[in-house]
Chain A
């Protein structure tokens, strides 16, 4: 593929799909694309071939901010021993959906 311009790698986008009966978009993988429209099309072509869902989000990977693995202990372990935070003593009434 020769040409006058340098070939830069295309930006990476993270793909999220919401299943037909799902409530939230779930991360399924990533695609390379030049812009948002192409990213959406590429995500449709790669990640919805087997009726995985009916709504797509694509987000530039650079927009994703992740927690540091080394902070795991201080960020998440303190919540482990706090039973009083869980709603285990509450009975959900019949007919309440989505819980």
Chain B
């Protein structure tokens, strides 16, 4: 069974927006080593986005979107399907690491289930992606622990980051028509089923970091998966798309 393009766009767009966000740290990271680490993570995500969006473009069968590049550069914010968490601002280093950690824990579980997908191509992408995300999770978890259990300042910034980002994690596990459709066709189990395991991964790391895990029982922001985005995405896309829109098909 093939995954519906809408389902693929959600995965690809989330990876793409995060890749773009992380790339903004190049030249600005606290250390040279961390700069390489974040750039590597960004490139891994960009690779996952390219594969997933190429697959989506093929199945969309729409002249506007021949490939991943067209999808990336020719869509406006209301056509993007990324989770809202991805478009939250980078903020300080703690906020970037906490955001990436929360996403990486989810992505590792999601790609893990997609290895068993009835969609052969998606399963192939998952086999590669899960290895990359395993490392992202180790790296970001390590930072969350160091920052949370570090100085008074790093702890304060970590707590602030968690408070800022927590209202956006619920959307990762939301289920709608597209997700139910994917579950019925054995493409992927509903994301809801990943919530408990995700929470235990997050809780374990937060505990080691001397940080409190908030309750998931709050009002959660949503809408990203259906094209209702915050103003943050507009700025991210403007920067990302400007060159291609001004000089169509430009290459290095």
Q: Which positions in A face B, CB cutoff 8 Å?
A: 1, 3-5, 10, 31-34, 37-38, 41-42, 44-46, 49
Contacts and interface: CB of A to CB of B under 8 A. Distances in A.
B27 interface: no
Given A41-B142, A45-B36, A4 B31 contact: no
Interface of B: 30-34, 36-37, 40, 135, 138-139, 142, 146, 151-153
Contact of A31 (B33, B40, B142): B33
A38 B32 CA distance: 13
Q: Would you call the interface of chain B mostly helix, strand, loop, or mixed?
A: helix
Nearest to A2: B153
Contacts, number: 33
A49 to B, nearest CB: 7
B151 A5 contact: yes
A85 B142 CA distance: 51
Contacts of A38: 142
Contacts of B152: 4
A79 to B, nearest CB: 39
A33 B151 contact: no
A44 B32 CA distance: 13
B151 A4 contact: yes
Given A4-B151, A41-B138, A46 B30 contact: no
A19 to B, nearest CB: 20
Contacts of B30: 1
A63 B123 CA distance: 46
Contacts of B32: 32
Nearest to B143: A38
Contacts of A34: 146
A10 B31 contact: yes
Given A38-B142, A42-B37, A45-B36, A3 B31 contact: no
A45 B138 CA distance: 13
Contacts of A44: 135
Given A4-B152, A41-B138, A33 B40 contact: no
A49 B132 CA distance: 12
